[in-house]
Every structure is written in C-alpha cells, then in structure tokens.
Amino acid sequence: MTDFFPAGRVLPHPVFHWHIVVSQGEILCVGGRPLLNELPVSLVEAVDTQSVSHYLGEWRGQACGVHYLSSQVDLPGFEWRGLRSLLGVVDEPVFFLAGRAMQVVDWDLDHQFCGRCGLKTELHLQDRARVCSQCHLAVYPRISPCVIMLLTRGDECLLARHSHHRHSLYTALAGFIEPGENAEQAVAREAYEEVGLKIGSTRYLGTQSWPFPGQLMIGYLAEVCGGTLTPDQDEIMEARWFHRNRVPDIIPPAETLSGQLIRTFIGMG
C-alpha cells in the first residue's frame, strides 16, 4: 500500500493532518524532513492569516497540504532548505511529495493573471486549475515530458558531462520531447543532436517525476547503430564510452532515473 494518494481535485476547506510549508523557493524542515504532522505554534498565526494553502492528497490516509508564505519565518530548531538538497536524504515518497508541493505552489504563483488577456485568474472550485473569468482560459499544472537515455554499444555505455550542470558528473543524455514527437523519436533526435550518434533499438525502463521545475522523465536504454561521436559543445562538454565494469566512481544517485539506467546496464553484464 502506497503512503501517498495524490489529488487532482481541490477541497474547499480542508483540515490538514500533514503540512508542508514553502517560502521563497525553499521548504521548512525539521530534522532534515519537510513533512510536518503539526505546525509550530509560532507559525500557526502566519499560516492562518498570510498563507495560500493547497490540498495535495492523502498521506497515510490523512489529508496533506502545502502552505505558501510570502516571507520566511525563523523558527528555533527548523531550517529552510532547497528541494534538491533533500534528494537522497529523505525517503523517495517524501521527496516526491515535497516536489509535488513545490510544483503546485509554483503553478499557483505563475498563473495569477491570464496569459491570453491579462486579467486576474481565480481558482476553480473543483479542479486544480486557475481560470480567467473574462476569456475562460483554464490553466492546469503543466508537466513537461522529457526523455533520458543511456546509449549503449555492446558492453559499453556512453556517459556525458553536461555544460550547464553545476556538478558536471558523468550521466546519461536527456532532452525535452518536441511537439509532434513520440518518446522514441525524441530519443533518436536528442542522441543525434547532442553527440552525433544514430539509434537502433530502444528498451523502455520507466518514468520518474522530476520537480526541477516540473518534468516527467521517460527512461530508455538505446543501442547505437551508427554515426560519429561528436559532442555538440553547447549542451555536452564531454562524452565518453565506458565499459560496464569501469564506469566512473561517482555517478548519479540511485534515486534518480539516470542512476537507475546506469545501474541497470551494469547489472546486465
């Protein structure tokens, strides 16, 4: 039985048993955990008078919500942490619940006004949507589908260092799905654009919600059938073939789909 059941609809006046508090792109944590089963007394008034709250779903059978504060409150024993710092630190279900909270808050903040006519939007009474009363445009939380693929060649896999990643560790290739593409077409296009290689067969591995800021990653193992390895030097600064028994010591963590792709390939030997 899963711990969390997400909600696609809103509750008009929910009473939350579990709480997540977000402010200025960070989450309030205690003991390194973002999920609170009770709000600190000194924060209750701020949440009641200043916050915008959203129902997220049920955690362990009880209602869970996120509260957005426009400014951070300093509380003894608590700390504000970025979402990425929780990756691999808290349990995966808690991490993705925190990610859901951040995505819902960002969606609400980003769509206060209609992108079509510019008038103020209002929350839909039932659905998780903001609606313009003038032109009736409805904006739901948007998820961007992406492919992430580990290119393989027999007992070797291609790992790349991305130009815009802060840590620049070796990892799999990835990219957004373009309008009109299916996922497999995106795998082939991204492989050719980023490193000049052509793809033959692909093997679907799985998906992962990736809340940075709101992607759905679709993972593949993809066998190379041609082309010349040529990193584009724009997104990819370096790409190298590694034997499955000699991959770098530091690879993406197992909590990430990239890390799962690499570990799956290693285990196939």
CA atoms within 13 A of residue 220's CA, in its CB half-sphere? 25
End-to-end CA distance of the chain: 33
Output the CA angle 215-27-16, nearest 5 degrees.
Answer: 95
Whole-prediction pTM: 0.91
Q: Are residues 8 and 64 in the same domain?
A: yes
**C-alpha separations of 219 from 10, 78, 183, 225, 243 in Å:** 31, 36, 9, 19, 20
Q: Which two tokens stand for residue 143?
A: 């998820």
| 137 within some domain | no
* Nearest one of 178, 160, 146, 158 to 222, comparing CA atoms: 158
**94, 59 contact by CB (below 8 A):** no
Domain with 243, as residue range(s), is 144-267
In a domain, 119, yes or no: no
What digits encode the pLDDT tens for the residues 82-96?
Answer: 999 999 899 999 999
Q: pLDDT value at position 12? A: 62
Looking at the structure, tell me whether residues 257 and 175 fall in a common domain. Answer: yes
Say whether both 159 and 256 belong to one domain. Answer: yes
- Please check whether residue 63 lies inside any domain of the structure: yes
Among residues 110, 134, 167, the one where a domain terminates is 110
End position of a domain, from candidates 92, 110, 128? 110
Residue 124 included in any domain: no
The percentage of the chain sitting over the pLDDT mark of 70, rounded to a whole number, equals 97
> Which tens digit of pLDDT belongs to each residue from 142-185?
999 999 999 999 999 999 998 877 667 999 999 999 999 999 99
Establish if 116 belongs to a structural domain. no
Helix or strand or coil: residue 137?
Answer: coil
Of the given ranges (41-50, 94-103, 255-264), which has the lowest mean pLDDT?
Answer: 41-50
Structural domains counted in the chain: 2
* CATH code: domain of residue 238: 3.90.79.10
* Cα 162 to the center of its chain, rounded Å: 18
Closest CA to 124 of 137, 105, 143: 137
Give 211's DSSP letter. Answer: T
pLDDT, tens digit (0-9, with 9 covering 90-100), for 188-237 = 999 999 999 999 999 999 999 999 999 999 999 999 999 999 999 888 99
CB-neighbour burial class of residue 267 (10 A; exposed 0-12, middle 13-18, buried 19+): exposed
Cis status of the peptide bond prior to 93, with omega within 30 of 0: no
Q: State the chain's mean pLDDT as an integer.
A: 93
Contact 13, 61 (CB under 8 A): no
pLDDT above 60: residue 245 = yes
**Residue 138 resides in a domain:** no
Choose one of 61, 84, 110: the last residue of a domain: 110
Compute CA distances 198 → 166, 170, 217, 227, whole Å. Answer: 28, 20, 21, 5
In a domain, 152, yes or no: yes
Regarding whether 98 and 177 lie in a shared domain, the answer is no
Single-letter amino acid code for the residue at 154: G
Q: Is residue 122 part of a domain?
A: no
Backbone phi, then psi, for 87, in 5-degree steps? -65, 125
Q: How many helices (DSSP H) and strands (DSSP E) are in the chain?
A: 4, 15
- Domain of 9, CATH number, reads 3.90.79
Quote the tokens at residue 21: 């508090």
**Residues 152 and 91 both lie in one domain:** no
Q: Say yes or no: 259 and 168 in one domain.
A: yes
